[in-house]
Structure 1
Amino acid sequence: MERIRNWLLPVLTAALQLAYWPGRALREDDPAVGAVQLVAALTAAAALTAALAARRRRPVAAALAVEAVLIACLPLPQDATLVHALGVLIALYSVAVRCPGRTAAVVGPVLAVCEAGRSVLVLEPGVEAAGEAAVNCVLFLTVVGLGRSRRRWLAGRRTAARDLARAESERARAALTERERLARELHDVSAHHLTSVVVTADAALRLGDRKPELSAQALEFAADTGRETSAALHRLVALMRTSAADEESPLGERVAELSAGFARLGLHPAVRVAPEAAPLTGPTAEAAFAIVREALTNALRYAPGSTVRIHILAGTADGTVDVTVEDDGAAGGVPGGVPAARQRLGGGRGTVGMRERATALGGTLAAGPRPDGAGWAVRAHLPGATSPLHRQSAHHGPGPLHQRALQQRALRHRALRGLDLSDGAVALAVATLPVFAVVVEEPTAVALACGPAVAHALGLLWRRRAPWAVLCAVLATAWLAPLGLAFGLLSPDVALCLVVAGAVAECVAVYAVGAFAGPAGVTWPVIGAAAAGLSLSCLALAAADGMAQLAEDGGGIGLLLFLGAVVGVAFLPPMAAFWGLGAAVRTRRERVRAWEDHALTATVWSAVAEAHEERRRIAVELRGQVLRHADAVVARAEAGDLGGVATEARAGLSAMRELLAALREVTAPGDVPEQRPHPQPVPVPS
């Protein structure tokens, strides 16, 4: 499959070029196409195809090879490299995606200089060659920006895959690690308790005739040691029966065990649970635990290696629970792990699920960048079962937490925060397009056209973080051309170029709303808003160009409104297409991130559950075998049966050793050893 992906695009490009030239020339029997040119065209197509096929493995070499082949094709007619010129953009995109930024910053200018040299040799020196060189520079910058954006996306997916693989590895070792830990604890119990009882009882039985006082001492020692053994095993069984996997377990224990699982994956959780919150169970505790789990998963995804502070408070009077989870933003070594990149993730951080859990109980949740430093913060307020007022408060205006969320959201929209090369490349390309149109139509007016064109596209720098505001700014600045025409600053042709070519800015803004502003059910009105805005700016241009008088003579304001409606309807299909593309990209992005977050959370939780299951299984064996013999040792000792004490101690020690042997068996990760039959007592050498 990878080989097909490598060769498909180069082969298609070469086929299109050969079909256009020399294919068309041969069909038309052009005498200028000779055998030498035919061989040269086929050789160039083969060389470009081979170079582009290596763009994934060696992108820099592929880009330079494509440019070298194009330079070698200069003696051929200009049509011979028309489609082949796209190979430079394809190779440059691969460089931006697969190479560091410094490499792309060097390769891009090198290709631009080579293309400028080709333009000078092919075209007449002067305005035409300079214009093509400028167009190439804009195209190269745009391609590099798009490539860098794709590189960040792929880096995020690789990071998610590494996190998931690490979590899977931890899950696979969870049961084995738990068996090893419990084996050490059980070995201490068997070595220091049951063995000493067996040795003491056997010694007293052998020396009872000569030292009868040893029997009484051995019985007393057996009774005391048996009680200690039984108490220690009961405590161990009780500990093993509680786990974060058990919904009836107290909130404090569940959060502590969950944090320990994430600590094994590289996080540094610092847990502080208030004494009144630690024993909580029920729906509120379940929601608080789920919010902590999701927040830890997000921290592992977007800030691996960070320190995460977990603070849980509970109100003693009303039963409310306040949950705070903050990380310090230390995205150790993760590409794109800077705060700005994290802010752009927005809803991809799993806040929707956490907020749904909070609102289901009538609570509130705020998630966003920390105002006091780097990192991310999640704060939830969950009312208790006895606090219905908190359920009503969600319907009586924004509270302090909601206001805090709005403030944090406003912080994310500060100017110049999080801008990157792809945003600048898109804005520059959109601003340059109408300027090029003016160059073709009226070169002397380029200086006057630059201002409105740049102002119209400038807002696109913030299209990811404030798409609705950017759309409003783009629609507002579209009126600069009609106003310039009305005040005599621009000619009608220049104003028409700015409006028509500048409509690309509206298309990009509509795409941004569909891709970044929210779900499709919320953003679809942008289609009508953009079409209406473009229609009004076109009417303003017509009015400024003297069409108002014509409309008044031929039907008045009604004709203008009719024309505006027709133009607006004509704009609806392209606006719907760009919005649909953005909505589709958003849906795919959210689906991928939701799957990654779900898989990571499920894997970590599975590790906790498997460790709990291993403890539960061992607790059943302890309670069914070893504890019964430990209790029997005490009963025999209290009854004065020294022989029975020795027998029961041997049986308990044998059962303990059987259990230890089962725990220490080398099994496949995640496998649970099969249950062994009840062991028979074996003699212990004295």
Structure 2
Amino acid sequence: MLALASTLVVVPFGTAAIAGAVAAPVAALIALHALAVHRTAGPALAGAATATTVASGTAAALGEPPHYVAGVALVTGGAVAVAFATGRSRRRRRAHRSALVAYRAGTSAVPRFAALAERDRLAAELHDVAAHRLTGIVVSAGAALRLNDQERTAEALRHAIDAGRQAVRELDRLTGPGERAAVAGLADIDALAAEHGVDYRRTVDAAPGSSTEAAYRVVREALTNAARYAHGAAVRVHVERGGKSGGVEQIAMSGGPDRTGGGPGLTVTITDDGGTVAVPGLGTGHGIAGLRAAVRTAGGTLSAGPEGSGWTVRAQLPPAASPAVRRRPGWRGPIALDWALVVLAIALSLGASLLSADVPDSFRGFLPAVPTVLLSGLHAVPLGWRSRAPGRGLAAVLLALVLWLACDLAGWTQPPVSDIFLVYWWVELTLAHGCGAYLTSRHSHLAPLAVAAVGGVALASGSGITGNRAAAWAVLTGMLAFPAFAAWSLGRFTARRRERLRAAAARQRKLLDRDADAAVRDQRRRIAAGLRRTAHRHARAVVAAAEAGHLETVRTEARAGLAALRELLTELRDRDGGDAPPPTVAGIAALATRYGTAVRYTGSRRPAPAVVEVAAYRVAATLMAAGVTLTVRSLDDGVELSGPAPADPGVLRRLRVMADATGGTLSTSGRDAVRVWLPEVSPSRSE
């Protein structure tokens, strides 16, 4: 910024000499390019606007006529637009190279951390599912043995058979190759409450899947704990409309639950009146902590503690997030180069004409200037479609040439279209290159033919052509075909190179996924082997003893199974991942565990480009703090991260720099929340 300011100060004084009149603007453009490389888009755009203002203001201060000042503004605007766009492009390339280096260095850890994530998932499910079943067996068997009643004994045996078989099936599912269990819904909570015979009330008919799954886990753990520590107490379970997030999804839910389509939030409350400990030593000591993490991951909050003579567990779970708004990188992303070319084309066509000593005939009066201005714009604006719709852009440019030729024949425009095409047909060549680079159609080779044919018509209409104009058109078309096909071929080469890089990245991703899947399967096999030697064996023994009518053996085996589970869970939780997680979207969860942060993933999880994966990981690492919850949303056009806004302005600046390097944005809300959008920029090749 200092360099740009210094060069702009020199610009007014550099006009006194020819060397200064050239060197000062060149130095200013170099400084502006550096500003676009090293700073975010906002300061760079402000620098471009300032440079244009200084140049046109200097011309006005020197007493130049208005048309000359306008020409200076246009030409300067075109030059600074290109300097801005090329600087932004270099900034993104540097960020991309840095991300690739970090991604390649960290991908070796992907299989191991995938295995660790599977280990944590299995540990949570083992605690929630198998321990719940075995605890119920121990409690019911102990109660029947104390009462020594035949009816209660028979009931306890039947319960042991049913619950033991369910525990065996669930242990087989957890460690087998089959699919995971379906997400629990409100009907599953109804069934769970009916199974335990508690006072149950539900006043909500629909809710998001993430909230119902967390609510089910809360109810199941609370009922298990009530059976362990408040035996004989009256238990009440209420599932009601309401709920709020833990401060993360505030922006995403600003539209309100009625417009989300996914149902309202939930408030789940489980209370008991206090009771006695059924059997000492049944708990694992990790239930509430794991439950609180699960609720925070769903975006909610959990409280648990004594209330009156009993205990209360309350979870507040958020409504569904509002649908994501599709955005485009706009002038911050690669499309900035396309629109910079538009500005440059307008600057060279209109601006250069206005820089002449006398006012051009086409600009003497408002009406004569209208056709020239409109046709110049129509010839330049389609460059903005170079990477998104190059076929349509080229068609629009060629149509502009045809209209210009018609205006020439009517005597409405100056200069003639032959002069315009001869000087500015780099526009057609640029779009021919775009057709080769971004079109998948087999007919894209027609683009250079169209450029040559229409360009030949424009040149053949010139006043310098004498004799047979049809023959002249044929010769000129043949001459123009060579550079047009060269530009198109260069575009095809660029497209093939890009496809090769994408294919190589896809192969690398496939190999990485294969290694990760193998590590997950190996982790599952190891845990399955440990369970078969311990908890699984005890669960089968419970069923066998219950079928034989040996209730004391049922209780003994169930307690042994719980002890084995507790030992296995302790061993699993004591293991750490060691070094840093891989810099990917999936690696955010492992990093969050170390920071004491919860991560909520929403949207359809799919692989993103390496630059987006690494940027998302770095943004998450910057936002993380103990006790907060981050939301990572996968979108069709990128990845969005949201969380509590950092109090330190320096952290916000770093986040803005990270987002800007990928063409993304950072936004904050009045609720002290921050959202970072990282776009997945991939030019379309659909025409």
Structure with the higher strand share, 1 or 2: 2
Structure with the higher helix share, 1 or 2: 1
Q: Which has the higher contact order (CA 8 A, sep 6+)?
A: 2
Question: Larger radius of gyration, structure 1 or 2?
Answer: 1
